[in-house]
Structure 1
């Protein structure tokens, strides 16, 4: 369960950081059901394959929350997109390398749309097509940046798309203060028969030890 009520922290003080935050952040909530039981035939879910956490030290002071006299004060540097763009390739390498993948092997990218410039920089740095980040842009356009709940909106919309194919690989990327980067490697499981599990050494085959979730 992710619930963000960003409007609780609305402040009117004329600072650039506050104006940016007020125009960008929004309220939102999302939830996922996580289970070791595979989806029922006819259903679609994500299988969790791997995940990783990383820190971009150059962004230590670029994004932060602090407690002020009137509530939470946000510090949001205009350099955040540039910092993410410069560091995202290296951040992803451990996750991809562990799973014998390259960026080109991942069909779908669920990028946390912290802002238009963030999506732009990630797409440019990873050489992603406009189509590969279109879901992130669509969520930002329709709902804004709902902080931690936003990535669930992206994943839900992506899973519901008619062209989502069985066993497509998805990389989810989210950002936070620090500057932290959380990544997850997922696989779309579109179950069409009654025997969704098999025992196999190939990490990209379904196994009885898999973990699925649906947003």
Structure 2
């Protein structure tokens, strides 16, 4: 039985942060060391981000908030509200994003309405309250009071992947189940000025957004594009527990995001993907055929070059002697939804897996226009792929997201057009 993700929708708050302006404000904060000032400039300039979004309306240069709590536009000073203040704003604004994303997903799913939803799975790591967003979706969207509700909290940037996996498991257990999955993150609530390198990097990347989709066994209708959820895997890398972490402090939540993370991903991404690919026989065969074809091509090229070397051409030492599995991957899997945790993570992934520049465009564009929205981000990337002109029925999609642990969550999907 095919389990399908349909009606993928996204929402961002209206307040836009222009990266260059935010960089200058952070670099000018009192108490920063010269090293920290240089780190701010470098982190913001190399982030791959042009704009981000925030629920904090006063985070603008022309703000006229009478009693600012996060940013004083008159002095251009970043303020330091406590965790209670930040979480209160989360309760107010996250609810709006959860509900709006869920409402859009329902409206975009032909043949389904609120009464069809049997399960709700919500995802967030940037705030807490109860009754929580799962409850608010039932109440505000008019779902049945008997709707089963589940919340995946405080998992970090990879959490949308286990949410989709959980939704698929519900449908496999009950083919009549229809699961609304919604992720909303308000990362900007926890940004702050600091001399700490991890905090500086986090401040240059994170932002706010929400995404929602509907998982069921119902096929897409004519004109609709969806994703069959084929396989999921989770892997914890042997190193990295202290390099990416998320803790609660007195002045908001505190991110640990080491500069070593891209290196960890570079070292372990292939082994993290191996169990996922091993679950799909057709992909395994395609990869094997691709590597063999590349090896044959390399052999022909080697023979030609060795023949030329007799006449003063390329010497045998310059001839390639092995196929490149990475290029076989990029051929067997048309689209890659890589969580854009930062530009360096995307660079490492592209190089390590031998992907083309075009295959990373959805991830890079999501990062450029929206920043890193933690768990919601991977759903933004998947939506970019579904709406891309080059996306065709039957295309394979590999999605990957990274988070505390260091945890790698991955999924194989297939594009299905109604």
Q: Report the TM-score, using the length of structure 2 for normalisation.
A: 0.45
From 177, 180, 185, the equivalent of 2:412 is 185
Q: After TM superposition, which residue ranges in structure 1, 4 or more long, deviate above 3 angstroms? A: none
**Alignment correspondent of 1:130:** 357
Higher-Rg member (1/2): 2
1:152 maps to what in 2?
Answer: 379
Matching residue within 221, 230, 233 for 1:40: 221
* 1:73 aligned residue: 254
Distance in 2 (CA, whole Å) between partners of 1:10 and 1:116 is 19
Q: Tell me how far 1:13 sits from its aligned partner.
A: 2.4
Distance 1:164 1:12 in 2: 41
Deviations 1:35-83 (A, max 9, x none): 1100011211001011111111211111001222212111110010110
Q: How many Å separate the matches in 2 of 1:150 and 1:8?
A: 17
Which digits, 9 at most, give the CA deviation of each residue in 1:134-193, with x for residues without a partner?
1100110000000000001100011011221000000000000000000010000012xx
- Greater RCO (CA < 8 Å, at least 6 residues apart): 1
Alignment partner of 1:121 is 2:121:
no
Partner of 1:203: none
SS in 2 for 1:134: helix
Stretches of structure 1 lacking an aligned partner (at least 5 in a row): 192-215
Structure with greater proportional strand content? 1
Q: Contact (CA 8 Å) 1:57, 1:178: kept in 2 or not?
A: no
Does 2:261 correspond to 1:86?
A: no
The RMSD of aligned alpha carbons is: 1.0
* CA shift for structure 1 position 11: 1.9
| Residues paired across the two proteins, number | 191
Gap runs ≥5 in structure 2: 1-181, 288-328
Equivalent residue runs for 1:136-175 within 5 Å: 136-175=363-402
The within-5 A match list for 1:49-60 is 49-60=230-241
CA distance in 2, matches of 1:114, 1:19: 14
Normalised TM-score (structure 1): 0.86
* C-alpha deviation, 1:4, in angstroms: 0.4
Q: 1 CA distance for matches of 2:233 and 2:381?
A: 19
